[in-house]
Chains A and B, each alone.
Chain A
């Protein structure tokens, strides 16, 4: 029987939408409509300050300018890709490593889990980035530590070849969130498999490689997708550490930071909107690629 012919069902459907309406209103008002607005603006010379009457349609100018006529844009793309390529795998490796260590129930593991998770709680906070900036400056804590071993440290955040690396280290340090998810995933791997492997005389390494990793692959996949998207969107640390400039010499000019500068410092909001859309499409493509590789290495326990 078709659903709509049952009045009770239809009523329930309406009630569902009524209950959903706060979320729907939020989605439309805060996400969907502004996004469409920015799509329209990306084809204009919108500059934030001028009267709407000054708005001009510029076609694909903003889009061609990005790739043909803006070296700083290409710098920003390069910085972001390097950041994501380096920070994401290292962060996941750190998260998995620590999760494995904390998986066994010993005295105090609870405390350690909490401690390792702490940096993530602070997340992308400005305060943390400020501390980071102080730590990695010429006379900061990192160099004081290196001096104990007689090493004279660099002016890390003010060297174009090193500034981005300090941000990578900051990102890796905040591995708590994927770690907690890994911990949960590890609990899901059936213990019988390990017992069977032990009976067969498998080494620890072999059981990690053949049981833990495949069993954990859905969780790894989930973390990978999430962290990749996060990695591309890094903003706060770059903004704070470079004082909003993306310097020295564009070395910390993350994509979102350049987007922000274009919109709010250079008043080129149309151009910034176009950048945002290219960014959205790029992230969508990367995520789709990750999903398409999933079938080769992600194993779901239910045999699918």
Chain B
């Protein structure tokens, strides 16, 4: 008797509670429909993985803390490392089913990951405005599309930049390189640097092993590097390219093969403007501050030689969400915050490229105090009006092609192959890698 009454009471209370909570739940539902915020407030930890320097790591941690301040139930497990080996680790994580919720990626690898469906297609988030790219230049967010899928969110805009030793030019009394100078003029300049420095500074870096220099050079002639599932560059053009730099080395306008090889490894600390072995390095505009931090000499940045319309507004890097993530909505919201928040923009400066969001970019530009960042910003803003149209993102197989170009260009530099032999071998292997 007693027991029955108690259970009766309980069930009535349950009902009552249920009835009370219904409108609350309903309210939650409509609320989340209007705002681009995921619903659940249960504690959640997102893994974030990127490459970069220590200062980038610090700025990233601080930006994520801003998000946690906004949503205290969201915390982050961050992992970062230097450039070298980053993709090895990312691939291993992804293969083991442990892809980070959010990871940094660049256009060298975006197609590799997107075509293999590792990255989440963000198109629906963009359409529902949960991912806001309305303040981005259209060409910039479109540079994240692979096969019609939005594979990442550009963190910022970037373009190839030739970084040079400004101080040396003054010391030697040679003019500084200028945007728009021809490749021939650069080589003549390199020769001058070599002579006037008494052979101490070996002219200009020889970028013949560098795909982006080759690409810009081709685009200046109205040609492209990549076609559909094959290389677009012709054998004749490649031979011309290799010969151009062979000529430069013969004139001592560029260093010898062993010195070039040191820089080709890609490590920022080994770049020749940093080590002082040559007066230029072919890098990205946003690397001005990274290289400047590594040397006491004053550096500057200009566009790659030739007509600057060969360059384009390229995404410096992207944030992507793993398709396997169990916290996709939250991960997208975090990225949305990182790329659109003015505070984050100020924290990052030009480290991940010029902010994609134009309003944020303006805010960052106005608040800049650091001289070097200011210069990189001004350079790229100025160049933006001269950009040509962006090509599609490099295709799957690009990583291999990049390595093949280095190997074959170096075999010419070391005199192990003629330009024609290297061009032929490269094209054969590169075409196979793109299939």
Contact = CB atoms under 8 A, between A and B. Distances in A.
To the question of whether A and B form a pair in one complex, the answer is yes
Contacts of A69: 432
Interface in B73-122: 84-85, 87-88, 91-92, 94-95, 112-113, 116-118
A243 B265 contact: yes
A245 B410 CA distance: 12
Contacts of B88: 264-265
B152 to A, nearest CB: 15
B403 interface: yes
Contact of A138 (B258, B265, B266, B429): B258
A266 interface: yes
A71 interface: yes
Contact of A248 (B116, B266, B410): B410
Nearest to A269: B95
A49 B91 contact: yes
Contacts of B84: 243-244
Q: State the main secondary structure of chain A at its contact with B.
A: loop
A155 interface: yes
Interface residues of B, number: 35
Contacts of A250: 407
A154 B410 CA distance: 17
A241 to B, nearest CB: 11
A193 interface: no
Interface string A248-278: 1110000000000100111101000000000
A154 to B, nearest CB: 8
A32 to B, nearest CB: 20
Contact of B92 (A160, A244, A264): A264
Contact of B116 (A50, A71, A138): A50
B403 A265 contact: yes
A245 B406 contact: yes
A160 B266 CA distance: 18
A51 interface: yes
Given A50-B117, A51-B117, A160-B414, A248 B400 contact: no
B116 A245 contact: no
A48 interface: yes
Interface string A64-95: 00000101100000000000000000000000
Interface residues of A, number: 28
B118 to A, nearest CB: 5
Nearest to A51: B117
A158 B259 contact: yes
Contacts of A47: 116
Contact of B113 (A49, A71, A160, A265): A49
Contacts of A49: 91, 94-95, 112-113, 116, 118
Contacts of A72: 407, 429
Given A49-B95, A264-B92, A267-B112, A248 B257 contact: yes
| Residue among A49, A51, A54 with most chain B CB within 10 A | A49
Q: Which of A71, A138, A158, A160 has the most CB of B within 10 A?
A: A158
Contacts of B403: 245, 261, 265
A264 B91 contact: yes
A243 B262 CA distance: 10
Nearest to A65: B432
B117 A249 contact: no
Interface of A: 47-51, 54, 69, 71-72, 138, 154-155, 158-160, 243-245, 247-250, 261, 264-267, 269
23 contacts: A47-B116, A49-B112, A50-B116, A72-B429, A138-B258, A154-B258, A243-B84, A244-B84, A244-B85, A245-B265, A247-B261, A247-B264, A247-B406, A249-B407, A249-B410, A249-B411, A264-B87, A264-B88, A264-B91, A265-B87, A265-B400, A266-B400, A269-B95
Given A155-B262, A248-B414, A249-B411, 18 more contacts: A49-B94, A49-B113, A49-B118, A50-B117, A54-B116, A71-B429, A243-B266, A244-B84, A247-B261, A247-B406, A249-B410, A249-B416, A264-B88, A265-B87, A265-B400, A265-B403, A267-B112, A267-B116
